[in-house]
């Protein structure tokens, strides 16, 4: 015989039947109908073993995240509260209270589980943050190493380019010696004007190549970026004219001084004093000169002194003299102009395209040399007298090389090199020119150097190494 355990309300209706439990109703479904006795129904179902405490807790928590709507009027009109009458003497409330205690224990278990999960999550966050900080430190270290590597590579590139320029300048000395060994060589003004115009025309292929490269680069950039990176054309011409004046002053003043100084060794030494004037000029304009650069400048100056005095007389005779004449002032002024040229080239080298700036400078310099040539021709009576052997093809070939190699190419490469090297260090490296000149003279002309010249060359080389130390 089957026993049915039923609970009746005050009107005799069945509230609960153990053998026929009501269908499970979710928390959200009851809530959606506006039933305020949701907790009681959930508890009642739980009393019959249909729901666990964790299910009740999950239902409660899900209700805070979801609030389903049956119709659009739910948002506009407040829901009517339903009062549930419970028959007096029934044990629903005590049972609910009892189950509420059971629910609290479930809540405690759930809160412990949640706290444990939070602790695990916090530990993971802390470990990930520590890993992230260590990764950031590692990345910053790598970036610093990369920056140092790029800087070292750039410095090495600049020094290598300047060494190449000093070799080109050494070949200029050999070429001019060969030119002046020919009959009826050109005067200084005719030589300068001829070389200037040949060098100017030699820039045309470089300009065309550079223009095509700039167009391809501009297509990848927006107009604003190109306008910021490219200086105005007017500034390029002003800077080029400034460099042309310094270049002209260096050559012209030194040539005038050489005519007034009887000792060629003294004149040669005073010309090379630019190796000391350049760092002094840098300090005057507020730049910092490293101690290694100063050491290299002093070593190079002593080496240049030995090379200058190798032609005859003691080194002390080159430096010491009973009088400081007008010729000395011209030569020192020319050396100062060369130092200013190097300093300004280092400052503007990274701002302007080297082909554009040097081509304009060479063009303006050719005009200035032409004015010098015309002035000399009017003073001498005829321009023919300034170069009697102008029909010599060999002379023109030598002039063409001197204008293209030590002229056009050297100007472009020198500006590229001085982008990464200070003016003081550049001057020390370029002072290797007489060393390479001696080597080329030995290989091409069969000339050998003396012990003093070898020591002087070694000191210049040592000075270049000291100035290049980072």
Contacts of 23 (CB under 8 A, 6+ apart): none
Residues of the chain with pLDDT under 50: 1-4, 7, 11, 15-16, 18, 22-27, 30-31, 34-36, 38-54, 56, 59, 62-105, 125, 222, 224-229
As a whole number of angstroms, the distance between CA 426 and CA 413 comes to: 12
Residue 465 half-sphere exposure toward CB, CA atoms < 13 A: 6
Structure letter (DSSP) for residue 20? S
The pLDDT assigned to 394 comes to: 94
Residue with tokens 């240049």: 304
As a whole number of angstroms, the distance between CA 398 and CA 75 comes to: 98
**CA 240 to centroid of chain Cα atoms:** 25
Tokens encoding 166: 């000093």
As a whole number of angstroms, the distance between CA 304 and CA 457 comes to: 8
For 114-168, write each residue's pLDDT tens digit: 555 555 655 554 555 555 555 555 555 555 555 555 567 888 999 999 999 999 9
As a whole number of angstroms, the distance between CA 361 and CA 366 comes to: 9
The pLDDT assigned to 349 comes to: 83
The pLDDT assigned to 418 comes to: 93
Q: In 3-state terms, what secondary structure has residue 14?
A: strand
Tokens encoding 296: 């290299």
The pLDDT assigned to 364 comes to: 95
Structure letter (DSSP) for residue 445? I
As a whole number of angstroms, the distance between CA 434 and CA 450 comes to: 14
Residue 84 half-sphere exposure toward CB, CA atoms < 13 A: 13
Phi, psi dihedral angles at 69 (to 5 degrees)? -115, 135
Are the C-beta atoms of 427 and 345 separated by less than 8 Å? no
DSSP 405-463: IIIIIHHHHHHHHTTSS-HHHHHHHHTTHHHHHHHHIIIII-----HHHHHHHHHHHHH
The pLDDT assigned to 80 comes to: 45
Please provide the distance, in angstroms rounded to a whole number, between the alpha carbons at the two ends of the chain. Answer: 105
The pLDDT assigned to 467 comes to: 87
Tokens encoding 445: 């002309």
The pLDDT assigned to 384 comes to: 75
Q: What is the dihedral of CA 144, 150, 152, 153, to 10 degrees?
A: 160
């Amino acid at each position: 015989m089957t026993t049915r355990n039923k609970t009746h309300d005050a009107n005799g209706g069945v509230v609960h039947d153990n053998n026929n439990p009501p269908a499970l109703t979710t928390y959200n479904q009851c809530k959606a109908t506006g039933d305020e006795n949701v907790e009681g129904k959930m508890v009642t179902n739980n009393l019959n073993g249909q729901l666990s405490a964790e299910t009740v807790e999950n239902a409660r928590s899900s209700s805070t995240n979801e609030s389903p709507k049956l119709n659009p009027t739910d948002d506009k009109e407040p829901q009517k509260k339903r009062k549930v009458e419970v028959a007096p003497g029934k044990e629903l409330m005590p049972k609910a209270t009892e189950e509420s205690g059971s629910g609290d224990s479930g809540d405690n278990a759930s809160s412990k589980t949640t706290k444990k999960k939070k602790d695990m999550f916090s530990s993971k966050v802390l470990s990930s943050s520590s890993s992230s900080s260590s990764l950031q430190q590692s990345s910053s270290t790598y970036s610093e190493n990369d920056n140092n590597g790029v800087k070292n590579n750039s410095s090495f590139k600049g020094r290598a380019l300047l060494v190449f320029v000093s070799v080109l300048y050494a070949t200029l000395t050999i070429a001019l010696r060969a030119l002046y060994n020919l009959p009826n060589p050109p005067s200084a003004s005719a030589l300068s004007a001829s070389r200037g115009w040949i060098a100017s025309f030699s820039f045309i292929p470089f300009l065309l190549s550079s223009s095509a490269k700039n167009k391809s680069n501009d297509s990848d950039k927006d107009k604003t970026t190109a306008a910021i990176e490219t200086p105005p054309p007017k500034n390029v011409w002003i800077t080029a004219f400034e460099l042309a004046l310094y270049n002209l002053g260096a050559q012209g003043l030194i040539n005038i001084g050489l005519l007034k100084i009887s000792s060629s060794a003294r004149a040669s030494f005073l010309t090379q004093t630019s190796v000391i004037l350049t760092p002094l000029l840098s300090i005057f304009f507020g730049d910092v000169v490293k101690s290694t650069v100063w050491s290299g400048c002093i070593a190079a100056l002593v080496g240049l002194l030995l090379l200058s005095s190798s032609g005859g007389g003691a080194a002390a005779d080159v430096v010491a003299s009973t009088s400081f004449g007008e010729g000395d002032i011209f030569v020192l002024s020319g050396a100062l102009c060369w130092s200013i040229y190097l300093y300004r080239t280092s400052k503007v080298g990274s701002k302007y395209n080297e082909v554009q700036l040097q081509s304009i400078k060479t063009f303006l310099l050719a005009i200035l040399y032409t004015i010098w040539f015309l002035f000399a021709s009017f003073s001498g009576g005829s321009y023919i007298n300034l170069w009697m052997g102008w029909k010599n093809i060999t002379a023109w070939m030598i002039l063409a090389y001197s204008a293209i190699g030590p002229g056009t190419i050297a100007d472009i490469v020198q500006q590229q090199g001085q982008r990464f090297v200070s003016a003081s260090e550049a001057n020390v490296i370029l002072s290797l020119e007489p060393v390479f000149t001696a080597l080329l003279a030995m290989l091409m002309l069969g000339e050998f150097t003396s012990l003093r010249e070898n020591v002087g060359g070694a000191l210049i080389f040592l000075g270049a190494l000291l100035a290049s130390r980072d």
